[in-house]
Amino acid sequence: KRVLKNRDEAGTVIDNDLMIIAGPCSVENYDVMDSTVAFLKSLGISYIRGGAFKPRTSPYSFQGLGDKGLEILREVKLKYDVKIVSEIMDVRDIEGICEVADIVQIGSRNMYNYPLLKEVGRLNKKVLLKRGLSATIEEWLSAAEYISLEGNDDIILCERGIRTFETYTRNTLDLNCVPVIKQKTKLKVIVDPSHGTGRRELIKPMSLAAIAAGADGLMIEIHPEPEKALSDGNQSVDFEGFKSIYREVLRLHRYL
Ligand code: PEP
Ligand code: MN
């Protein structure tokens, strides 16, 4: 077990200087996952996202494939030798998710779920901690401390937009937090412009803005046919769209 770490010492290692995580919002079926991972792998991207357990606002919306989704993730992981990022919502699913996920995601809605935070704090596993829907930076860092105090300081923060009065976008991407996190902590922080904007046409400019602000990476939702996606199609880019975003992100990152 690691020694107790505080906010100034906690830090994770990412094996690229830019961590790009991409994939569909939800694991929908084998074919979507297989074609998406094949495409991302061809670009050299090895962190794949996909939710098997989905925290949907409406109980009538697609809730994810659950264990069947984990099985699909396991298959593509073996086939393509990629790293899997997937959300955990319930402590009872920890074992199943940890068998396949290289990074466990705590979603925005669960940032305040202290029993869940403590439980992932006892794991020997990277944790992607998304910012709560209306969480201040202080509250977010305190959530990270709930994890690190249990011994796991392998934490990456993810800004995914906050609630404001603005309704044109799904959330307001708070890029202020990137330099603030950098000034206050040693934690890595990545940005999710998909949930941060809710709008496909804003993913590229906000990805570039995030990198310019100093983000350590991005998490982007991508789908072979976004209009057919079972969740978050409006904010998912297709393969061509992703390629163009990725090309410009790399160009900017090299320039910086
Ligand atoms: C997600 O990444 O799939 C997700 C549900 O995001 P958030 O928790 O930020 O809403
Ligand atoms: Mn989503």
Domain of residue 147: give its range: 19-255
203 belongs to a structural domain = yes
Measured in angstroms, how far is the CA atom of residue 82 from the centroid of ligand 2? 20
For residue 217 and ligand 1, the question of a CB distance below 6 A is answered with no
Pocket test for ligand 1, best of 54, 104, 195, 222 (most atoms within 8 A of CB): 195
- Specify the residue with its C-alpha closest to ligand 1, atom 6: 107
Measured in angstroms, how far is the CA atom of residue 3 from the centroid of ligand 1? 30
5 belongs to a structural domain = no
Q: What is the pLDDT of residue 2?
A: 37
25 belongs to a structural domain = yes
Whether the pLDDT of residue 98 is over 80: the answer is yes
- Give, in degrees to the nearest 5, the angle at Cα 246 between 235 and 180: 75
Whether the pLDDT of residue 152 is over 60: the answer is yes
Q: What is the mean pLDDT of the chain?
A: 94
For residue 160 and ligand 1, the question of a CB distance below 6 A is answered with yes
Q: CA-to-CA distance for 94 and 151, rounded, in angstroms?
A: 17
Q: What is the pLDDT of residue 3?
A: 38
185 belongs to a structural domain = yes
Q: Strand 47-49 relative to strand 19-23: parallel, antiparallel, unpaired?
A: parallel
240 belongs to a structural domain = yes
Residue 89 near residue 55, CB atoms below 8 Å = yes
Q: What is the ipTM of this complex?
A: 0.99
Q: What is the pLDDT of residue 17?
A: 84
Count structural domains, the chain.
1
Identity of residue 146 = Y
For residue 127 and ligand 1, the question of a CB distance below 6 A is answered with no
pLDDT tens, 24-77? Answer: 999 999 999 999 999 999 999 999 999 999 999 999 999 999 999 999 999 999
For residue 86 and ligand 1, the question of a CB distance below 6 A is answered with no
119 belongs to a structural domain = yes
Identity of residue 154 = D
Residue 250 near residue 50, CB atoms below 8 Å = no
Percent of the chain with pLDDT strictly greater than 90:
93
244 belongs to a structural domain = yes
For residue 161 and ligand 1, the question of a CB distance below 6 A is answered with no
pLDDT tens, 63-89? Answer: 999 999 999 999 999 999 999 999 999
10 belongs to a structural domain = no
CATH of the domain at 45: 3.20.20.70
**pTM of this prediction?**
0.95
